[in-house]
Structure 1
Amino acid sequence: MVCYSWTKLLLDENARATEFDDPSLKRSEGEGMLKLPPGKTAQDVVTDFLREVYDWIESYLAKRISAEILDMTPMEFWFTVPAIWSDQAKSATLAAAKAAGFASGDEDRIYLIPEPEAAGIATLKGFSEGSSVARAQAGDGVLICDCGGGTVDITSYKVTQMTPQLKFEELVEGVGGKCGSTYIDREFHQWMSKTFGQRFESLKFEKTGPGSRFMKDFEAHKRDFGYSSNLDQIYEINLVIPGARDSALYDTDESIVKLNG
């Protein structure tokens, strides 16, 4: 089985490159990463994924409110997209969502919203509630830095209205690039290749690629990084690397890769 990952970025592969784009993207192209299954486009893969999401949502709601009520209930579906997304990528995202089944009812509607704008709405809503210590008000400026997995967007907004409905406008054109947190994953893979060479590179993709136990363990350590005051902390990740020698970076008895914080 081959796991395909980071497919979302391929929806916008013809977009203009920016100075902020991660240069390791091209270097990291390999089996399953930034690649497509034979005979499939990026839009096809996204459609397949979203179809599973839609089927789960439909099944869940049918159990909660009954299939009959679900069928007669108009629904709105909102999809967030990176602020730097091109019109081509937005169109492909919308088409994939519709092909997957979203907004298939006569009165259903589907919308796209930039990710920083969605983050702004969610954040400012909290600052508008009575229990909030800091209250946002009309005229306030807000800077949203949306650090995702594949992209990072920075956008500034001015709040124009808080009640009865939150409204804000973009102050200046946002900037961003394809330099999300998966950059760290790609650099980690590069480090593993440099450290263990062909012994690591020859391992099956399902053992080392996105979604593997190896990368899930790395993700857990990545999220915890910085919370410990112990600068000498060792992070351990299980991975059998046949032929690897025992060293400060690898325990052959336990098959553990050791990372120094």
Structure 2
Amino acid sequence: MSNPSRPPYSGTQRKLVLAFDVGTTFSGISYSILDPGQVPEIRGVTRYPAQEHVGGDSKIPTIIYYDRQGAVRAVGAEAMRDGIEEQAEDEEWVKAEWQVAQHVSNFGFYSRFKLHLRPKSKSAGHVRETIPPLPEGKTAIQIFADFLRYLHQCAKAYIEETHANGPALWKGLEAQTYFVLTHPNGWEGAQQSLMRKAAAATGLIPDTPQGQARLSFVTEGEASLHFCIQSGLTSEAMKSGKGIMIVDAGGGTIDISTYKQTSAEVKSFEEIAAPQCHFQGSIFVTRKAEEFLETFLKGSRFVDDIPLIKKCFDKTTKLRFRKEDEAQYIKFGTLKDRDPKLNIRSGQLKLLGTDVASFFEPSVKCIIESIEQQCAASKTPIASVFLVGGFAASEWLFKQIKEAFSEKGLDVSRPDSHVNKAVADGAVSFYIDHFVAARVSKVAYGIDIHTNYQPTSPEHRLRAHTVFENDDGQIEIPGLFSTILSKDTTVSETTEFKRSYYLVAASPTDPILRLLSILIKCYKGSAKAQKFFVDTEPDDAFSTLCHVRADTSQLHISPRKSGKGRARHYRVDFDVILSFGLTELTAQIAWKENGVEKRSPAEIVYDLD
């Protein structure tokens, strides 16, 4: 992707940027070699081992085969070549992939391994119900690492083979290779931490602060925005001064992001609504079809053909279906396969168009409702919606979304080509061009606290049985949530959100004063108050984000007088500082010593359970 309006690379050192888009069903690689003073060009890897259409496809299936000893035997297009299933069965390989499957043969598991990294939210309950187990002895991190290693090998082979003096070029850039990994809009710090572990396990980067600095993340929605900008798709929409919406319809997730342009001169954008992520991608349409087939063909001689029928539906019917008043035919057998009662003739299964439409209904409804919610949340009117991603190729999906908003003045369009490389190319553009300067927080962030008991407060009196006396003699009441960053807040990359707290103890050597450990939580509810009681909200409104730790062992702590005849106590005042302007959380603990603010390099430990 060459862009003449992109300025020359201003760095002083040559580097390679590699973006890996590990998708639900397919994965891709894009890259750019940055030469000082030269305009960067984004390229895609279009040649992979065992790929049928060399040079014509920029993605490979997200599949890995393992043998019984846990060694990788086939990946990507290699895992789809003719005869692979027979070899896998003979040698008892196991298979890790994204596809939903209930009919599992004795040689393999169907495991959508990346979805095992997903946030464990209530809204993704249907994912938990259908997601198969991982291959025995393998963790999601290990499988993800193996797939990243394979993508890295493919990138190496492609660059060495297509560039002049390729092997020397690759070797010279190895220490200056920067990686960008994409992930769904709904993934946060915990999932990024797992992906970091996988990247370090592969040897892509050293597991050091310097090595970790060579790895960055971008949401699929923001990567798609960068692709649309660089492809010129947003130019007309931006002339009106209105906002644009990116609907990245992929295999597993639907990622929806909304932006407006804040500066035409430097192409600066900001989010104008909190991005959304829903597990309603194309694999769930296939799953609905499979459920229908299991019921429809139950007890018939064709029940064993369901995996094949589902595969044929996935490759043809799902993409070309466009009218619910037209019957759909799935070719799966021979002329001898016939059962008029089941609408099977000459090896073809006839499905009513209304039945096929019902398979799409949850995904269509989800997208329409999400677009409406984004429009309602944005203070800037939305002019255009861009439908990208592999699922965008569905004629029925595009038709339904376009018709739903045609009378509301909202233009819905999709790129006519290369939708499958939007995220990978956009991820490289994110690194180079960095168009988005401000984002909107999806949830609120804060910590649990206790506060002074106020006997005149009805809320406090209701919880009077929980009060306790602190080491400073104060009567305290626990169970409150203190918000540091509110939901739907626009955050620039330089914005810090700070709130002050303190801890007290009877001894200056008490561990709670010498190694501060603060548990930061996400709040997904609707309460707007800066401080409120946790028990007024449902349990699933809160989730643990991370622990922030800081070493204050060298801080001088003076004794303070305690009330009510108590001995002296010791107190540490500190600030918790959050920064969400980038695509990753950064957090610090700060305190003042002799009137000067000091900050500890905070350790962030994500809750990965």
TM-score (normalised: structure 1): 0.76
Structure 1 or 2: more helix by fraction: 1
| Amino acid in structure 2 at the alignment position of 1:251 | I
Q: Which runs of 5+ in 2 are unaligned?
A: 1-106, 354-609
Deviation at 1:189, TM superposition (A): 0.9
User: Deviation of residue 2 (structure 1)?
Assistant: 1.6
Cα root mean square deviation, aligned:
3.4
SS of equivalent residue, structure 1 residue 59: helix
Secondary structure class of the residue paired with 1:136? helix
- Per-residue CA deviations over 1:105-124 (Å, capped at 9, x if unaligned) read x8893221011111111112
Match of 2:279 in 1: 178
Q: Which residue is equivalent to 2:319?
A: 223
Number of residues of Structure 1 aligned to a counterpart in Structure 2: 239
Q: Partner residue of 1:6?
A: 112
Matches within 5 A, 1:6-45: 6-12=112-118, 14-18=119-123, 21=124, 23=126, 25-29=127-131, 34-45=132-143
Which position in structure 1 is the counterpart of 2:326?
232
Correspondence 1:152-231 to 2 at 5 A: 152-164=254-266, 166-197=267-298, 203=304, 208=307, 214-226=310-322, 231=325
Q: Is the 8 A contact 2:250 2:282 kept in 1?
A: yes
Match of 1:255 in 2: 347
Note the C-alpha offset of 1:37.
Answer: 0.2
For 1:177 and 1:213, how far apart are their aligned partners in 2? 27
Separation of aligned partners in 1, 2:120 and 2:265: 37
Query: Where is the strand percentage greater, Structure 1 or Structure 2?
Result: 2
Q: Is the 8 A contact 1:127 1:136 kept in 2?
A: no
In structure 2, do the counterparts of structure 1 residues 199 and 4 end up closer, same or farther at CA, with 3 Å as the change threshold? same
Task: Output one character per residue of 1:58-92: Cα deviation in whole Å (capped at 9) or x when no partner.
Answer: 11111123211111123332221111113211221
Structure 2 residue matching 1:187: 3-state secondary structure: helix
Would you say the 8 A contact 2:149–2:202 is kept in 1? yes
- C-alpha distance in 2, partners of 1:174/1:230? 31
Query: Secondary structure, in 3 states, of the residue corresponding to 2:270?
Result: strand
Hey, what's the Cα distance between the residues in 1 that align with 2:301 and 2:218?
Answer: 41
1:55 aligns with 2:153: yes
Higher relative contact order (CA 8 A, sep 6+): 1
CA distance 1:98–1:64, shift in 2 (3 Å):
farther
CA distance change for structure 1 residues 61 and 103 in 2, over 3 Å: closer, same or farther?
Answer: farther
- Is the CA contact (8 Å cut-off) linking 1:214 and 1:239 kept in structure 2? no
Does the alignment pair 1:70 with 2:170? yes
Cα distance in structure 2, aligned partners of 1:71 and 1:39:
34
Task: After TM superposition, give the deviation of residue 40 of structure 1 in Å.
Answer: 0.8
Gaps of 5+ in 1: none
Q: Give the % identical residues.
A: 24
| 1:68–1:59 Cα change, 3 Å | same
CA offset digits 1:180-203 (Å, max 9, x no partner): 221101101101111112558974
In the alignment, residue 124 of structure 1 is paired with which amino acid? I
On the 8 A contact 1:237/1:258 being kept in 2, the answer is no
SS across alignment from 1:85: coil
**Letter of the 1:79 counterpart:** L
Mapping 1:118-133, distance limit 5 Å: 118-127=223-232
String of CA shifts for 1:197-232, please: whole Å, max 9, x gaps.
25589749xx72xxx685155332211111xx6832
Where 1:127 maps in the other structure, the secondary structure is: coil
- Cα separation, 1, equivalents of 2:268 and 2:295: 50
Query: Match for 1:57: what amino acid?
Result: A
> Structure 2 vs 1, CA of residues 202 and 46 (structure 1 numbering), >3 Å: closer, same or farther?
farther
